[in-house]
A = this chain, B = another copy of it.
Amino acid sequence: MDTYIRVSLPAVCFVWQIAMVVLFGVFIRYNEESDAHWPEYKKKQNITSDAENDFYYRYPSFQDVHVMIFVGFGFLMTFLKRYSFGGVGFNFLIAAFGLQWALLMQGWFHSLDYNTGKIYIGIENLINADFCCAGCLIAYGALLGKVSPVQLLVVTLFGITLFAVEEYIILNLLHCRDAGGSMVIHAFGGYYGLAISWVLYRQNLNQSKHLQGSVYHSDVFAMIGTLFLWMFWPSFNSAIANHGDGQHRAAINTYVALASSVLTAVAVSSLSHRTGKLDMVHIQNATLAGGVAMGASAEFMITPYGALIVGFCCGIISTFGFVVVTPFLERKLKLQDTCGIHNLHAVPGMLGGFISAIVAAAATESVYSKEGLVSTLGLEGKFANRSPGTQGGYQAAGTCVAIAFGLVGGAIVGFILKIPIWGDPADDNCFDDEVYWEVPEDEETIHPVLEYNNHMTHKQQDM
């Protein structure tokens, strides 16, 4: 296989970035809260304090989400012994590439002013752009180590596009509620990555088997990713929730659901080993399942114990997935899923969607108050006549749309990636940073025995 990317990678980056400059120039402007006309706007709207600028409601959450995207996902993918550069570095590339396209795509669908033809952006758009990238980074988890950076840019380009479309259908047309993106981010991203990986199945991947595991320190690096994801997940699920009780409740629900996941992930991990030892893969991943599953119902009055139950079940299901389902999928379905996104994103995301359907359908005015029910379920405007039960049905439908988009879109993108022009690695070169990175020469710390053997040979000859 030819992994020469000296033409394709710079070409894609430059062409793309120039296109972004042009499109931003044509379309993107500051919105009324980030424009210098804000003092005038404030007066006109009778806003008395700068603290009412949405920036102050959302910026702390935005930064937490930003950390999740770049450090959280990035370091979670450093666990392989010789693919840490690719894990954190390509994650960085995908997200920086994707967020610009996301600002445009989501802008066209959600923030376009038809009078001026411009997209007006503020802090909420940045959060949504980061969310959009999360979908592609999840997909990267299934492909980690097996694709070239050029392929990843293709995955991202299509991924962001598909995301914006399915998000529009789910949030605007079906009018689902999905504050933390169980469906639009996790279910979509998960199935998108799995479908791509399934199309790109590599028969002889065991040729690079010696590089598929972790080493001691790479597992500790991965824990940085896990913990930043875990800690900031309450911000992820509350970042674009309603001001006031919406953000507050979303954070609480996610906080307790995640705590519950940790306990059951540890329990199942211990159960699955002969003498009860824990497996780092489970601790790094399954502990997060509660956050994924709480996404769609984060804002709802699911009650703290409801959130605990969600975390409880998803911690078990996710760990079980790593122990049983992933090996099964690989053997039977020919599905290679490097990071196990099936267990952390696809399934918990899908479950999160269905949970939100149940919770929405069970909503009553006595629990939410009249005003609270309207604002939490979004039953306003042309959706004012929708009952909670109907809303529940739409939540379920939205989940199916997300999965369908992921599977079909992923399959198509997978076939595009099979065209042999993208510089992807050979089967025996997978999971190896050497292919796309200048790696410092410290091989001796990794294979000291080989080193010794080489040395012995020389020594013997000298003797």
- Say whether B74 contacts A227, CB under 8 Å: yes
Q: How far is the CA of A203 from the CA of B83 in the complex (A)?
A: 37
Whole-angstrom distance between the Cβ of A407 and the nearest chain B Cβ: 29
Contact partner, A4, options B252, B275, B452, Cβ 8 Å: B275
- Say whether B221 contacts A220, CB under 8 Å: yes
- Say whether B221 contacts A270, CB under 8 Å: no
Contact partner, A78, options B215, B220, B228, B279, Cβ 8 Å: B220
Whole-angstrom distance between the Cβ of A21 and the nearest chain B Cβ: 5
Q: Which residue of B lies closest to A459 (CB)?
A: B456
Most buried by B among A33, A39, A61, A268: A39
A385 at the interface (CB under 8 A from B): no
- Say whether B71 contacts A228, CB under 8 Å: yes
Contact partner, A50, options B3, B24, B244, Cβ 8 Å: B244
- Say whether A59 contacts B56, CB under 8 Å: no
Q: Which residue of B lies closest to A375 (CB)?
A: B39
Q: A9 and B266 in contact (CB under 8 A), knowing A21-B305, A126-B255?
A: yes
Q: Which residue of B lies closest to A86 (CB)?
A: B278
- Say whether A244 contacts B440, CB under 8 Å: no
A320 at the interface (CB under 8 A from B): no
Q: Which residue of B lies closest to A119 (CB)?
A: B304
Whole-angstrom distance between the Cβ of A223 and the nearest chain B Cβ: 5
- Say whether A440 contacts B214, CB under 8 Å: yes
A209 at the interface (CB under 8 A from B): no
- Say whether B71 contacts A251, CB under 8 Å: no
A389 at the interface (CB under 8 A from B): no
Q: Which residue of B lies closest to A99 (CB)?
A: B259
Q: How far is the CA of A444 from the CA of B264 in the complex (A)?
A: 34
Q: A64-80, CB under 8 A of B: which get 1 and which 0?
A: 10110011001100100
Chain B residues contacting A368 (CB-CB under 8 Å) are 36-37
Q: A227-254, CB under 8 A of B: which get 1 and which 0?
A: 1101110110000000111011101100
Q: A21 and B219 in contact (CB under 8 A), knowing A35-B301, A39-B372, A59-B251?
A: no
Q: A202-225, CB under 8 A of B: which get 1 and which 0?
A: 000000000001111101110110
Q: Which residue of B lies closest to A51 (CB)?
A: B51
Chain B residues contacting A446 (CB-CB under 8 Å) are 216, 442, 445
**Which among A10-18, A325-333, A397-405 touches the partner chain?**
A10-18
A461 at the interface (CB under 8 A from B): no
Q: How far is the CA of A346 from the CA of B309 in the complex (A)?
A: 37
Contact partner, A97, options B59, B263, B270, B280, Cβ 8 Å: B263
- 9 closest Cβ contacts across the A-B interface? A6-B276, A36-B372, A38-B245, A96-B262, A24-B305, A13-B267, A50-B244, A448-B448, A25-B305
